[in-house]
């Protein structure tokens, strides 16, 4: 595996960041868990100290490898057609990376990941519930989306006539959580208790990533060996030769010099790795008005602005088992980036180097957080959208209607509402003119509450990204709700106030009740969209909420055309 950095215009800033890491002996402080390197605040030190278990995740996982293999073999022997992971954010995205890049081996059940409460998506993924194993993954054990999905899965299993529904479920959670208690009471097939001192987004090399890997027939020993090699390389004191510290220094140096947009360029086969990196970087660094904005899946036709650092990850297959992780003393890279952009090049000669990349990016994220002066292990703003959603659902329980914000205008039946900050920025212009307001250095986030794998909508959303970039010159991101709430949502609310947000919802033709709750999946989905919009409003962010009256690709395209000023 090779890794090279060309700081380009950030050469001095990169060197300054490396000297800071040397002066604070950061590599040693990280591995020895010397908390005073982060902050002098005792409470903050205790918070960080409770989140550093990922550093020993490889060693902690190795003794459980035999159990994981045995569990996976029994699942395969039981004849399940599908293994479906129900999770959100860090509890699901590492598994999705492994599924997309490596896939399930012959003889293993088909692996699927469901991180959407969209009724259409739920119906599609759970179509074979009678012959499926459900992996319920939640660190807290009380994630509202996961609870709703698990309830629907249980309803379908019971409807199929399964005498012992618990035998169709496996739980991954922390000890003593509500999910742990439910798994024991309902006699789940198995329960995997994760270490409490590993945060969800740093959990790729724990049960959250390794159990799905085992179920897919992936060689978890090879995956862990790759990560172990990277961990050793990340102990090197010199940050220029340390693959994790060097990457973190480059990202932080760029952000501090105004290049806070991290453009990730990956081949199609590695695309889901971008989603995992996105949630790790955005949720870890986006707070206290600071942050790195990951730009993932950006169409190649969009030219990057001068607010970017570009990281290119290349997969070279068939596999070559070199995992040295060595970094040249003063590396330079040939990339597809302009010489005007700082760039990083990572080559992955082996699919099992995913283990190494999981660890490298975790170290880089911790390093970047340290250099930016933020706690990379907390998520102080995530709770705001959750509380807003809960308040809306409680009101729905009492009134049997969802409280929606007042519509500013409804062109062609599309209800459009602006936040106060957006309305002030537009100075009387109509809501769909919101994309007149981005300033240099801003980014535009398209946030769609639609089925994330629906081929009717994704190409249109990609096309809107291209049109928005051309019309505004701004970087663009695309997120699906509620997934992004557990990913970039922290950055949106706690990071720099440089985002312009377009939240798109569409009424479902056929809703689906959430078992045991007064609301449906469609109501939950809408409550999350409206709750996030309200949180953005209260924080002075520029946002537009659009409610499409039906799920019509032509209507979505019409919205995109209106946003960029095109007329049919």
Rounded to whole angstroms, the Cα distance separating 568 from 563 reads 13
DSSP string of 137-172, one letter each residue: E-SSS--HHHHHHHHHHHHHHHHTT-S-GGGGEEEE
Give the DSSP H or E segment for 6.
Answer: strand 2-6
Q: What pTM does this model have?
A: 0.94
Domain 57-222 has CATH 3.20.20.150: no
Span 382-563: which CATH code?
3.40.50.10490
- For residue 328, give the 3-state DSSP assignment: coil
Contact 118, 521 (CB under 8 A): yes
Question: 2-25+237-372 has which CATH code?
Answer: 3.40.50.10490
Residue (of 237, 215, 257) closest to 371 by Cα position: 257
What is the DSSP code string of 357-399?
HHHHHHHHHHHHHHHHTS-TT--TTHHHHHHHHHHHHHHHHHH
What is the end-to-end Cα distance of the chain in Å, rounded? 50
Separation between Cα atoms, residue 168 and residue 159, nearest integer Å? 13
**Which H helix or E strand runs over 113?**
strand 110-114
* pLDDT of the chain, 568 residues: tens digit per residue: 678 999 889 999 999 999 999 999 999 999 999 999 999 999 999 999 999 999 999 999 999 999 999 999 999 999 999 999 999 998 999 999 999 999 999 999 999 999 999 999 999 999 999 999 999 999 999 999 999 999 999 999 999 999 999 999 999 999 999 999 999 999 999 999 999 999 999 999 999 999 999 999 999 999 999 999 999 999 999 999 999 999 999 999 999 999 999 999 999 889 999 999 999 999 999 999 999 999 999 988 888 899 999 999 987 554 332 333 333 333 333 344 456 789 999 999 999 999 999 999 999 999 999 999 999 999 999 889 899 999 999 999 999 999 999 999 888 889 999 999 999 999 999 999 999 999 999 999 999 999 998 899 999 999 999 999 999 999 999 999 999 999 999 999 999 999 999 999 999 999 999 999 999 999 999 999 999 999 999 999 999 999 999 999 999 999 999 999 875 4
- Tokens 């169409």 belong to 299
Cβ atoms of residues 325 and 235 within 8 Å: no
Distance CA 465, CA 285 (A): 24
Place of tokens 């035998």: 167
Instruction: Give start-end residues of each CATH 3.40.50.10490 domain in the chain.
Output: 2-25+237-372, 57-222, 382-563
């Amino acid at each position: 595996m090779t890794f090279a950095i060309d700081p380009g215009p950030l050469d001095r800033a990169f060197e300054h960041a490396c000297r800071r890491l040397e002066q604070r002996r950061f590599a040693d402080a990280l591995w020895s868990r010397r908390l005073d390197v982060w902050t002098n605040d005792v409470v903050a030190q205790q918070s960080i100290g409770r989140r550093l278990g990922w550093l020993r995740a490889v060693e902690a996982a190795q003794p459980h490898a035999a159990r994981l293999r045995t569990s996976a073999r029994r699942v395969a022997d039981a004849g399940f057609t599908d293994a479906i992971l129900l999770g959100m954010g860090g509890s699901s995205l590492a598994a999705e990376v492994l599924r997309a890049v490596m896939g399930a081996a012959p003889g293993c059940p088909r692996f699927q990941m469901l991180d959407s409460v969209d009724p259409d998506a739920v119906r599609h993924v759970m179509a074979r519930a009678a012959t499926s194993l459900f992996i319920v993954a939640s660190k807290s054990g009380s994630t509202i989306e996961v609870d709703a999905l698990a309830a629907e899965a249980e309803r379908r299993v019971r409807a199929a006539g399964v005498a012992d529904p618990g035998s169709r479920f496996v739980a991954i959670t922390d000890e003593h959580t509500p999910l742990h208690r439910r798994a024991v009471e309902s006699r789940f097939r198995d329960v995997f208790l994760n270490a409490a001192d590993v945060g969800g987004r740093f959990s790729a090399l724990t049960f959250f990533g390794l159990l799905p890997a085992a179920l897919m027939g992936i060689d978890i020993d090879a995956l862990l060996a790759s990560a172990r090699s990277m961990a050793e390389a990340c102990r090197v004191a010199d940050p220029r030769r340390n693959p994790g510290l060097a990457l973190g220094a480059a990202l932080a140096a760029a952000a501090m010099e105004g290049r806070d947009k991290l453009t990730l360029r990956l081949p199609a086969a590695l695309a889901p790795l971008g989603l995992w990196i996105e949630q790790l970087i955005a949720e870890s660094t986006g707070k206290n008005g600071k942050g790195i904005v990951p730009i993932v899946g950006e169409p190649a036709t969009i030219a990057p602005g001068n607010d970017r650092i570009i990281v290119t990850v290349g997969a070279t297959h068939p596999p070559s088992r070199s995992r040295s992780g060595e970094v040249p003393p003063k590396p330079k890279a040939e990339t597809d980036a302009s010489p005007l952009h700082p760039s990083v090049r990572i080559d992955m000669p082996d699919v099992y180097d995913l283990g190494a990349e999981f660890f490298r990016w975790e170290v880089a994220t911790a390093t970047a957080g340290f250099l930016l002066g933020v706690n990379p292990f907390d998520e102080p703003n995530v709770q705001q959208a959750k509380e807003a959603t809960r308040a809306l659902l409680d009101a729905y329980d009492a009134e049997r209607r969802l409280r929606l914000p007042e519509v500013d205008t409804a062109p062609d039946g599309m209800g459009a509402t602006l936040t106060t900050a957006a309305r002030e920025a537009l100075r009387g212009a109509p809501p769909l003119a919101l994309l007149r307001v981005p300033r240099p250095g801003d980014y535009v986030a398209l946030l769609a509450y639609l089925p994330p794998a629906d081929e009717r909508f994704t190409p249109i959303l990609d096309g809107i990204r291209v049109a928005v970039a051309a019309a505004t010159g701004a970087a663009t991101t695309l997120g699906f709700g509620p997934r992004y709430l557990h990913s970039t949502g922290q950055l949106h609310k706690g990071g720099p106030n440089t985002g312009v947000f377009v939240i798109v919802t569409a009424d479902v033709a056929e809703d689906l009740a959430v078992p045991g709750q007064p609301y449906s999946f469609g109501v939950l989905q809408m409550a999350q969209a409206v709750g996030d919009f309200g949180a953005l409003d209260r924080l002075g962010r520029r946002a537009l909420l659009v409610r499409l009256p039906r799920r019509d690709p032509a209507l979505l395209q019409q919205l995109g055309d209106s946003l960029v000023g095109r007329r049919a």
